[in-house]
Structure 1
């Protein structure tokens, strides 16, 4: 799944804070998508390619950021998200509650631009690592499927030794195996075939 490198969802009901976040993120080259409450943010996340990095205010109308966070984590959405909670609540208990609910990071208001930029950079770095891991997992799953195919019973012609593939067509043995395993073949002649097809040369070879 491709990460939208410049897209960030900002859910903030306070106009001043929302504008500051929007202008700051744009200045750094990001493309913030703005939601004025939790429900609006949830609607944005239903898009086919939603932002993967989210900045959520804790207290919002209709749906608080902490409740939106819990909804995201409990719904097992196809996309993985890096979520930064933004709030004036900075007690140890609040921080623990936010992290327990599924937040990846925590930023207090009024935010420090340098701290925000550092945390956003960390978020995208983590998302990049997750995307790489997901790609490797898909590649391994595909490799396992190919191995399982090769380990199964394969229909093979008794005369020409072609193998019937998954679509019903017949492939040469080396062509079929190459498609399903990436194996490259080099061709030679075994001693029995050398004797059968080139008996004179076979005698010379034995004589050596």
Structure 2
């Protein structure tokens, strides 16, 4: 079951109060009645009405005083207030009433349809304001929960958002920067490449994503930065990536060291002149060397000596067919 909209009617004139109550009740609203300003203030603070209709002149506490007190209390400062007056009907009275914080000022008696039209309008405004506040609360919760540092600038370069991750990354409380121009809160950014990038997105309304090293203390670090246009201004998301950059540099150094080590390994990839008789090899300087000597100079090898099966039979023919091991030695 839908909870009816509740409207508080405050007027010390019983006939006028009852007439207004009847109009509102017939339109389907739930009505709370107050016979004076003090009671109206109490009900506004405790009964949580959706709208307040106030007589301007009440003996204990005027409607103006009630409205002023409602506006200073966080729980009621957004509560719509509509003045209804049968005596203070001049333009200056309306101006003073609106300047006191009221959302509308009507002269009684009036056409009930006009009164209901004002009621519907103020209730729509209140509903819209609640929706905007809820959306802003959801947005703020999202911005506070993300791991990326985030801040937003308006078109005048004023900082309008600054989340907890940005506080940690930059070492500044949001109270120190909110509402201030970026260059005042962070003079280190003045004239920097980052300032140029912010100006570019503000001007061209196209996002930018990049990595950069900011070399100005106390913010000297590598940053990954994403800048998006918003209305009005820009949104900036960033992460400090110095640790990642250091790891990448170490990896590149290791790759270079490995490549150098591989390049230093001795390999043979060329045509070798070899003697058909003694099997010596001629080196690059024209000297003839044994195979062992040449290989030791030009390849990362060591030698072990033995006899192949053919040489074994030739050198040791008297041993007959005694089988040899695979490396040429006798079993």
Bucket of the pairwise TM-score, normalised by the shorter protein: 0.5 to 0.7
* Among 72, 78, 81, the residue aligned to 1:80: 78
Match of 1:60 among 58, 61, 67: 58
How far apart, CA to CA, are the structure 2 residues paired with 1:117 and 1:54? 13
Deviation at 1:112, TM superposition (A): 1.6
Name which structure has the greater RCO, CA cutoff 8 Å, separation 6+: 1
- Offset from partner CA, 1:110-162 (integer Å, 9 cap, x none): 12201101000101100110111011011011101111488579xxxxxxxxx
8 Å CA contact retained: 1:66, 1:98: yes
- Say if 2:110 is the partner of 1:116: no
Contact between 2:71 and 2:78, CA under 8 Å: does it hold in 1? Answer: no
Decide whether the 8 Å contact of 1:13 with 1:37 is kept in 2: yes
RMSD over aligned Cα, in angstroms?
2.2
TM-score when normalising by structure 2: 0.43
Moved more, 25-34 or 69-78: 69-78
Report the CA distance shift for 1:78/1:96 in structure 2 as closer, same or farther (over 3 A): closer
SS of residue paired to 1:46:
helix
Aligned partners of 1:46, 1:75: CA distance in 2, in Å?
9
* Aligned equivalent of 2:248: none
- Does residue 138 of structure 1 match 2:137? yes
Which one has the bigger helix percentage?
1
Query: Number of residues paired by the alignment?
Result: 150
Which residue of structure 2 lines up, in the alignment, with residue 42 of structure 1? 41
- C-alpha separation in 1, matches of 2:117 and 2:39: 26
Larger radius of gyration: 2
User: Equivalent residue for 1:107?
Assistant: 106
Report the alpha carbon displacement of residue 59 of structure 1 after superposing the two structures with TM. 0.7
Equivalent-residue separation in structure 2 for 1:126 and 1:20 (angstroms): 25
- Which runs of 5 or more residues in structure 2 are unaligned? 150-164, 170-331
In structure 1, stretches of 5+ residues that fail to align are 154-208
Structure 1 residues 58-103: Cα deviation after superposition (integer angstroms, max 9, x where no partner): 0112101111111111233356211100102121111110010001
Name the SS for the 2:146 alignment partner.
helix
Q: Which consecutive aligned stretches of 4+ in structure 1 deviate over 6 angstroms post-superposition?
A: none
- Summarize the Cα distance change of 1:144–1:117 in structure 2 as closer, same or farther, 3 Å threshold: same
SS for the counterpart of 1:29 is: coil
Q: Is the counterpart of residue 69 in structure 1 residue 95 in structure 2?
A: no
Equivalence for 1:199: none
